[in-house]
Amino acid sequence: MRVADFFCGGGGFSEGFRQAGFDIVFAVDKWKPAVMTYKGNKPGVNVILDDIIRISNLGDEEFENLVPDSEVIIGSPPCQAFSQSNKSGNADKTIGIQLIEAYLRIIARKKFKKNSVLKYWVLENVPNSQKYIKKEYSAKDLGVEGDFILHTRNNNSGIYNAKNFGAPTNRKRFLCGDFPELEITHSDEEAVTLKAVLDSLGDPLAKTKSDICDVNYPDLILPSTEITDFHYIRELAPFEWKTAKRLKQDKGYMGKMAFPENENNPARTVMATMSSSSREAMILRYQEDRYRLPTVREVASMMSFPIDYRFYGNTMGIKHTLVGNAVPPKLSYAIAKAIARENGLDVPNKYIPIQHDSDIKFVNLNGVILSINQEKPRREVAKFKYHIPYLILNSYRVELTNYHSDFTNNKFCWDAELHYSQGKKRAAVYDFEVSLDMIDEKFRKPIIRYINKIDKKLLSFDEFQKAYCKTERQRQESGELGPFELLDDVRNFICSLMSPLEMKDKKSIINGLYELPNAIIVGYYLLQHIIKKMGGKDNGCANKETETPGVDKKG
């Protein structure tokens, strides 16, 4: 059976059909590295560099001359607009919807034309996209002539996880269109783990030459020297992994994430950008107290690409994007196998090695030496907003922020804020004066001693901003206390002051208006005191006035 692939990317969707013995006759994408990668791994396919929206609107004769007939059409319109990781799911969906409708327009033009041979079509995208794909489209909806209704959901449309089809990744995707029921090959408990991927490939810098057996395709065995984009290390600087760790394990009210990655589970969803200092960063243990990013080959195996698949990009970033934007071949193979089964077609019983196009230049990352990144100073108007680390009790946290500064005129003010929960309905910011007599008497003397000690280290608001904008190493060399160091110091003091149970014990304050954990009251008191001291060191700039006790600002 013939297959046409739209938004083909680097060829992940087509790869599953190739392995299942289908005849791929046409592919198109508008990103050159994707087209080159597709050509490099599938030399016999007519793959072109073009715009799908343009193609979908061509006149009938030009459209039919360009796009060949096929029994199967597959497509994965770019999903960035629909991804939850893009502005928390609030990104502009306009272009994403246009791309989906362009793909559906092509489907309709092939499906409802005279003597159509199209039997199956599949659209793959992130789960959130299903909200923006209508269940049916008329010819008018798609801007074409005719009197038809294109139904997008058959009985098998829905959310699928690539891990249930053998891919070592927890990657959920929405599939819709006309296709048979897919056969699940791996239960959640049987899913291939990240550890299995890493163990199969071994140490990227191993000096011994050995054969590597593909974790996804056991009959594919290659000498380690032939495994591309693998033999290098991208080690993280301490400032990178420390930032990532904080965002993963102490990010407000978002759930904790493993640091480093939990190798006993399938890999998390592979992203198109391999970030190093974000909550989504995929971080592997390198050595004791050292960490690294996965290699291109490692993430490709997580996505279930075979180890003889090549990614034709000139940079590491392009290669990671090619992998992260792809459809996992194992998921694609499940679709192809279901179609083959329904049509009584035989599927190859062993992996068919890739024959690469030798005329396409390939850049191999093996042996590249990557220096560890150096932290750069922040710009002088950098913003700061973070709570006392690892101190969120009963949904309360105490934050230090410079958000109320006049950044236009470089007049910086710092504030302590008491935050509660998150979300539009529950979140609140409380602003009231904490006095020493609100704190249990047994804690007061140690608190006074701590205040007297730290007062000597405090800077003015402007100096504090300058310290924040320096690198961690610069602050260490100068002995300055920046925002992160200050919050760490306050956290360490509170931990030395009271036991974990005492930290959680609640105390009623302001005539019973609030009932807060001891540690939150003490943390808020300390930051308020520190802010006042710092504000008193500035000329003409003080923190915002403390409001009436008991007043809270919702939202």
The string of pLDDT tens digits covering residues 75-132 is 999 866 555 444 444 456 788 899 999 999 999 999 999 999 999 999 999 999 999 9
Q: What is the pLDDT of residue 253?
A: 63
**Are 497 and 522 spatial neighbours (Cβ–Cβ below 8 Å)?**
yes
Among candidate residues 275, 307, 342, the one where a domain is terminated: 342
Catalytic residue among 79, 176, 495, 541: 79
The string of pLDDT tens digits covering residues 179-206 is 999 999 999 999 999 999 999 999 999 9
Residue 441 sits in the same domain as residue 531: yes
Q: What is the pLDDT of residue 84?
A: 45
pLDDT tens digits for the chain (555 residues)?
Answer: 999 999 999 999 999 999 999 999 999 999 999 999 999 999 999 999 999 999 999 999 999 999 999 999 999 998 665 554 444 444 567 888 999 999 999 999 999 999 999 999 999 999 999 999 999 999 999 999 999 999 999 999 999 999 999 999 999 999 999 999 999 999 999 999 999 999 999 999 998 889 999 999 999 999 999 999 999 999 999 999 999 999 999 976 677 899 999 999 999 999 998 889 899 999 999 988 899 999 999 999 999 999 999 999 999 999 999 999 999 999 999 999 999 999 999 999 999 999 999 999 999 999 999 999 999 999 999 999 999 999 999 999 999 999 999 999 999 999 999 999 887 788 899 989 999 999 999 999 999 999 999 999 999 999 999 999 999 999 999 999 999 999 999 999 999 999 999 999 999 998 888 899 999 999 999 999 999 999 987 654 544 443 333 344 443
Residue 36 sits in the same domain as residue 160: yes
CATH code at position 20:
3.40.50.150
Look up residue 276 and give its two tokens.
């190093």
Q: What is the pLDDT of residue 536?
A: 84
Distance, in Å, from the CA atom of 147 to the CA atom of 124, rounded to the nearest integer, reads 26
Residue 331 sits in the same domain as residue 438: no
Residue 149 sits in the same domain as residue 6: yes
CA nearest neighbour of 377 among 477, 475, 459, 464: 475
Residue 337 sits in the same domain as residue 437: no
Distance, in Å, from the CA atom of 235 to the CA atom of 371, rounded to the nearest integer, reads 8
Residue 177: inside a domain = yes
Dihedral of alpha carbons 220, 226, 228, 232, sign? positive
Residue 331 sits in the same domain as residue 443: no
Q: Hey, is 158 helix, strand or coil?
A: strand
Residue 104 sits in the same domain as residue 33: yes
Q: What is the pLDDT of residue 93?
A: 75
Residue 437 sits in the same domain as residue 533: yes
Residue 28 sits in the same domain as residue 173: yes
Q: How far is CA 445 from the centre of its chain?
A: 46
Residue type (1 letter), 228? T
Which DSSP letter does residue 128 get? G
User: Would you tell me the crossing angle of helices 32-41 and 316-324 to the nearest 10 degrees?
Assistant: 70
Residue 268: inside a domain = no
Residue 417 sits in the same domain as residue 337: no
Residue 250: inside a domain = no
Q: What is the pLDDT of residue 256?
A: 87
Note if 79 is an active site residue: yes
User: Would you tell me the crossing angle of helices 518-536 and 441-455 to the nearest 10 degrees?
Assistant: 30
Residue 409 sits in the same domain as residue 501: yes
Residue 380: inside a domain = no
Domain of residue 454, residue span: 385-554
Residue 53 sits in the same domain as residue 108: yes
Residue 305: inside a domain = no
* Helix (H) or strand (E) segment spanning residue 87: none
The string of pLDDT tens digits covering residues 284-306 is 999 888 999 999 999 999 999 99
The string of pLDDT tens digits covering residues 462-492 is 999 999 999 999 999 999 999 999 999 999 9
CA nearest neighbour of 171 among 186, 181, 160, 182: 160
Residue 37: inside a domain = yes
Residue 550: inside a domain = yes
Residue 297: inside a domain = no
How many separate domains does the chain show?
2
Distance, in Å, from the CA atom of 156 to the CA atom of 160, rounded to the nearest integer, reads 10
Among candidate residues 310, 342, 374, the one where a domain is terminated: 342
Among candidate residues 284, 316, 342, the one where a domain is terminated: 342
